[in-house]
Amino acid sequence: MTKILIIYTGGTIGMVNDPTTGSLVPFDFKQIRQNVPELDRLNYDLDVYSFDPILDSSNMTPEIWAEIATLIKNKYELFDGFVILHGSDTMAFTASALSFMLENLSKPVVLTGSQLPIGEIRTDAKENLITALEIAATRRDDRPMVPEVCIYFDYQLFRGNRAIKYNSEKFEAFRSPNYPILAEAGVTLSFFSNYILPQPDRELVVHLNYNPNIGVLKLYPGISELAVRAVTASPVDAIVLETFGSGNTTTAGWFIDCLKEAIGNGKLIVDITQCQRGSVELGMYETSKRLEQMGVVSGYDMTFEATITKLMYLMGQGLQHQEIVRLMEDSLRGELTN
Ligand code: ASP
């Protein structure tokens, strides 16, 4: 019988209304189990691991990512797949982080959650949970169909490090603007195998070290030197620069000097675009040529979530600066197209 480990971290899926405050608060897995009797009808051997405390995902931390990765490592041989129940707010960060932490993953790790608690009549939680389990259990040629970290939400399966939460109200909460979906659930479950990562030929390696010392600078017309310096002169090790269009910035002398100083001080600057769709192309316009010349790294079409977690992961590995630069511009887990 297919064995699946459900890892319950929290999120709306298992929340209940606290009558004293009127706010939604996390509740234990019993809440989920009681509301989905179908779980017993699935022909899988299900085991559940609940985090303590159960979280609203806005309180997610890299330490908890390391706990999840360690749990998967310890249970790896015992289960055919893993389904992580997680709040949707930071699900794309967790999925991205796990994709980098779990190198040579050969089993499905499917994150899901819901927009409405599982106890609500119109909930989206049941479908998300049941189909996520089916995806984690699907095999082809006796091997797991989706050997990667992914997000299942509202009938679609996304590569985890390509997904973003784009809507806080619709059941369709996630999108993958720069990469096709991996599967779609309709009357049948259709997998698009051309887009799914191949089975690795090496053993799983789990990376638990990370460096979260990253600054973020989102540009806007009229941004002041003071605001820019607050980030470029701060004691961070890397800066994610959210730029215009295909990676462009103002060419004002003071701005270029701020970036040059930061790079001179050993900071790594990664350029990603504010556009949801499309890629950074350094040098395409004069307004990004100088960035390329001074050593700004291209984030290509990476999501903000993938960029942050990839930096945390790479900077935690004790690599040389140039090696981090090279790997940032390379696809490690299918997170970018260059
Ligand atoms: N605030 C919730 C969380 O991320 C939202 C959700 O689960 O959709 O935990």
Q: State the amino acid at position 123 in one-letter form.
A: T
User: Which position has the token pair 């779990």?
Assistant: 102
Q: Is the CB of 128 under 6 A from ligand 1?
A: no
Given phi > 0 = left and psi -120 to 50 = alpha, else beta, which region is 118?
A: alpha
Distance 33 CA to ligand 1 centre (A): 19
Q: Is the CB of 215 under 6 A from ligand 1?
A: no
**87: exposed, middle or buried (C-beta count within 10 Å: 0-12, 13-18, 19+)?**
buried
pLDDT score, position 26: 81
Tell me the C-alpha distance between 328 and 270, whole Å.
8
Segment holding 289, helix H or strand E: helix 286-294
Q: Is the CB of 87 under 6 A from ligand 1?
A: yes
Other CB atoms within 10 Å distance of the CB of residue 279: 19
Distance 91 CA to ligand 1 centre (A): 9
One of 2, 12, 243, 303 is an active-site residue; which one?
A: 12
State the greatest distance between any 2 C-alpha atoms of the chain, in Å, as a whole number. Answer: 66
Distance 12 CA to ligand 1 centre (A): 5
pTM: 0.96
Tell me the C-alpha distance between 154 and 40, whole Å.
22
Q: Are 75 and 35 in contact (CB under 8 A)?
A: no
pLDDT score, position 7: 96
**22: exposed, middle or buried (C-beta count within 10 Å: 0-12, 13-18, 19+)?**
exposed
Q: What is the pLDDT along the chain (338 residues), one digit of tens a residue?
A: 999 999 999 999 988 888 899 998 888 888 788 889 999 899 999 999 999 899 999 999 999 999 999 999 999 999 999 999 999 999 999 999 999 999 999 999 999 999 999 989 999 999 999 999 999 999 999 999 999 999 999 999 999 999 999 999 999 999 999 999 999 999 999 999 999 999 999 999 999 999 999 999 999 999 999 999 999 999 999 999 999 999 999 999 999 999 999 999 999 999 999 999 999 999 888 888 899 999 999 999 999 999 999 999 999 999 999 999 999 999 999 999 99
Residue 12 is among the residues annotated as catalytic for this protein: yes
Tell me the C-alpha distance between 338 and 332, whole Å.
12
- What DSSP assignment string belongs to 70-93? HHHHHHTTT-SEEEEE--STTHHH
Q: Is the CB of 11 under 6 A from ligand 1?
A: yes
**44: exposed, middle or buried (C-beta count within 10 Å: 0-12, 13-18, 19+)?**
middle
Q: Are 310 and 96 in contact (CB under 8 A)?
A: yes
* SS3 state of residue 231: helix
Given phi > 0 = left and psi -120 to 50 = alpha, else beta, which region is 184?
A: beta
Tell me the C-alpha distance between 251 and 58, whole Å.
36
Q: Is the CB of 124 under 6 A from ligand 1?
A: no
Distance 114 CA to ligand 1 centre (A): 8
pLDDT score, position 32: 83
Q: Which two tokens stand for residue 72?
A: 């998967």
Under DSSP, the state recorded for 221 is T
Cα 226 to Cα 152, 250, 254: the distances in Å are 42, 15, 10
Q: Are 99 and 148 in contact (CB under 8 A)?
A: yes
Which domains, from first to last, does the chain contain?
3-206 (3.40.50.1170), 214-328 (3.40.50.40)
Q: Are 156 and 183 in contact (CB under 8 A)?
A: yes
Nearest in space to 333 (alpha carbons), one of 317, 310, 316: 310
